[in-house]
Structure 1
Amino acid sequence: MVFYFTSNVVSPPVKLFMGLDKYENEHLIKWGWPEDVWFHVDGLSSAHVYLRLNKGENLDDIHHDVLVDACQLVKANSIQGNKMNDIDVVYTMWENLRKTNSMEVGQVSFHNPKLVRKMRVDKRINEIVNRLNKTKIEVTNPDFQQEREQRDALERQDKKKIIREQKEKEKEERKRLQEQSELRSYSSLHKPENMTSTNYDNNDSDDFM
């Protein structure tokens, strides 16, 4: 089961989601999207919360209020972290998550720790947590693999379209350059200095027989 939340602190609103347990987290780790941002309480057990960005966006594009919502949601879903003040929440792009066969279910590390950011959470803000919980939707047995494969299929189609359009532009440009070259050549042939006249009667005199 996966829980979806709506953060309406920005317009249009954005979605936050997390797995019910470590087994759902495992599926999310495996079938995440390049546009996903992963959140977790630093050094403590907590839910894995995800934020899905728009294509082309990165961590710098996340609105501060959305970061606050995500961090409050992570804190509220950490048994230890929910009771503590002054905790850190770490977050990074899904592609920076590192998973090996030796790790326990739901456990991850990072390919590049320098790409991991932290946000200090001083305390739980019930107003935020309650607002998010009112938007919670439970989805049973979502097919993460199918969703990822559909996303990748659309991306491949977009890339093919871009390649076709680029080839068509290159073809049109070659045609334009060829036409310009032919026009210059035609104009050169018709310049006065390049034109000659011929006396076809071969008469060099004005006398007639």
Structure 2
Amino acid sequence: MVLYYAPRRAAETSHVVYVGADKHENERLIAHGLPHDVWFHVDALSSAHVYLRLRPGETWDDVAEDELEDCAQLVKANSIAGNKINDVWVIYTPWENLLKRGDMAVGQVSFVDEKLVRRTKVKTRSNEIVNRLNKTKEERFPDLQAEKEEYERGVREEKKRAYHESERRRKEEERLRLEEAEARDYKHMMNEEKMKSNKELAKKYASVEEAEDDFM
């Protein structure tokens, strides 16, 4: 089971917060996250794994301060030890930076690059924020693998479409370039400065018969 929450301005941003119901569900979330997911956890303490799903193409730099506060408060509230103390540090990183090795315990993760981990401090629990988020909570049983496969299929289709569009533009630009080159060559062949009228040509000859003889 996965728990879903609506962060502030969710109607505008389409962002969604989701949380694994237990450590086994967290394993599935780790395996089937998406590139535009941001992972949150209480630093150095046990807590829920909280994800903020952004829109495709967005990065963790697009996370607003109020969304960051919502996720941090939700992580603290879902940490047995962290919920009891003040000045709790919450860490967060892009889903793609999560590292899961075979020798790790269930639900445990590390990071590909420690430099891509940020920290934010939660001084105290905000019941106002936690209660607001809990009012939006929904329990679902999604097929995470199917959702990820559908997303990846869409990415491949978009790349294919972009490639074909790029090729179409390239061929069109090549066609126009060749047409312009041919037009320049034709204009050179028909150089008006080198062209003479019939009247000018006639001045070279004393008679029509002489001109015709020269032509023949």
TM superposition score normalised by structure 1? 0.92
Q: Which residue of 2 aligns with 1:190?
A: 190
Compute the RMSD of aligned alpha carbons.
1.8
Q: Which residue of 2 aligns with 1:42?
A: 43
Conserved 8 A contact 1:5-1:132: yes
Q: Deviations over 1:5-49 (max 9, x none)?
A: 001346335210001100000000001101100000000000000
Conserved 8 A contact 1:39-1:91: yes
Cα gap change, 1:79/1:32 in structure 2, threshold over 3 Å: closer, same or farther? same
SS of the counterpart of 2:212?
coil
Q: Distance in 2 between matches of 1:168 and 1:200?
A: 55
Q: Distance in 1 between matches of 2:19 and 2:211?
A: 94
Conserved 8 A contact 1:188-1:194: no
Q: Which residue of 2 aligns with 1:173?
A: 173
SS of the counterpart of 2:58?
coil
Q: Deviations over 1:103-156 (max 9, x none)?
A: 00110000000000000000100000000000000013x211000000000000
Between Structure 1 and Structure 2, the one with more helix by share is: 2
Q: Deviations over 1:163-183 (max 9, x none)?
A: 000000000000000110111
Structure 2: which 5+ runs fail to align? 203-209
SS of the counterpart of 1:88?
strand
Number of residue-to-residue matches in the alignment: 203
100-109 or 11-20, which deviates more: 11-20
> Which amino acid in structure 1 is aligned with residue 111 of structure 2?
F
Q: Deviations over 1:63-83 (max 9, x none)?
A: 000000000000000000011
- How high is the sequence identity, in percent, across the aligned residues? 50
Q: Which residue of 2 aligns with 1:58?
A: 59
Q: Which residue of 2 aligns with 1:202?
A: 213
Structure 1: which 5+ runs fail to align? 205-209
SS of the counterpart of 1:39?
strand
Q: Distance in 1 between matches of 2:124 and 2:173?
A: 61
Cα gap change, 1:166/1:13 in structure 2, threshold over 3 Å: closer, same or farther? closer
Q: Distance in 2 between matches of 1:25 and 1:149?
A: 18
Conserved 8 A contact 1:47-1:78: yes
Conserved 8 A contact 2:26-2:107: yes
Conserved 8 A contact 1:189-1:195: no
Cα gap change, 1:191/1:203 in structure 2, threshold over 3 Å: closer, same or farther? closer
Q: Which residue of 2 aligns with 1:76?
A: 77
Q: What is the deviation of 1:202?
A: 2.3
Q: Which residue of 1 aligns with 2:21?
A: 20
Q: Which residue of 1 aligns with 2:103?
A: 102
Conserved 8 A contact 2:33-2:95: yes
TM superposition score normalised by structure 2? 0.89
Q: What is the deviation of 1:53?
A: 1.2
Whichever of the two has the greater Rg, that structure is 2
9-18 or 84-93, which deviates more: 9-18
Cα gap change, 1:13/1:150 in structure 2, threshold over 3 Å: closer, same or farther? closer
Q: Distance in 1 between matches of 2:194 and 2:91?
A: 77
SS of the counterpart of 1:202?
helix
SS of the counterpart of 2:45?
coil
Cα gap change, 1:124/1:201 in structure 2, threshold over 3 Å: closer, same or farther? same
Q: What is the deviation of 1:59?
A: 1.7
